Amino acid sequence: MSQARPVYNFNNIIVRTPSTTVVNGLRADDRGNPTYEGVKAEHDTYIAAMKDAGVKVTVLPALEAFPDSIFVEDPALVFTEGAILLRPGAATRVKETIEIEPTLRAMFETVLDLPGTGLADGGDVLTTRESVMIGLSARTDKVGAEALQACLDKLGRKSEIVATPEGVLHFKTDCSLLDEETVLSTARLAKSGVFDRFKQVIIPEGEEPAANALRVNDVVMVGSDFPRTIEMLDKLGYKVVPMKTTEIGKIDAGLSCMSLRWFSNTL
């Protein structure tokens, strides 16, 4: 597998239009329901930002039966080498994999099914230059993580299983990749030592949800509700694109979970 291209270099993404039922999406911390109009507006802005960043956007139709289906990253993973169909850890989301499967089989020559009965969410997976990090969480168990490792091995990708702090929904709730050598992390996740081989930029106290930023080509997308994080990254020389995530955030979501991203050599 060639590593010449940065892992945050993408030319293709898949997103799904939010359903009107998105207001009933899962959440661990109830901060009130989002509005459909608010979520749709934030999603539209997200798509526009992705196009500005230089990617081709495939927009899938809304799935009214699945309130959380806007978060396409959880039921699948995509790479230049192929796609992996996952088994989400929330019972109400398991069938989302069936819904996205035809699209992935049409777009990828290689599509792997997660073997066994274990659970794995894409929100627990952080791709770095050295390896694919799989975080154990309430949504990804050890059996699922090991099954995912087997799939990644078939794609020629190295992987490692790491721990997610207690009470954190997904591994990437607390971290994101800023560049090949640098990770943006909450203090609680950094303390675990999982990023000791990286340069680490720690989120200012009180802005922990900002850790789910998203590097796409030359820009770093960050929730606009987190001004200290934006200022910090700006001073470090990153090209920051503030993104409204107020409504999406009410259902425990961030920027990474709203798209499947990869670099296609055939585009």
**Catalytic center residues:** 170, 257
190 touches 206 (CB < 8 A): no
d(CA 28, CA 200): 27
Report the side by side order of strands in the sheet with 125-127.
125-127, 132-136, 159-163
Give CA separation, 249 vs 66, 161, 225, 243, 253, in Å.
18, 26, 10, 12, 5
Helix, strand, or coil (residue 199): strand
- How far is the C-alpha of 2 from the C-alpha of 214, rounded, in Å? 22
Q: Which of 188, 183, 184, 193 is nearest to 223 (CA)?
A: 184
Quick one: DSSP state of residue 118? -
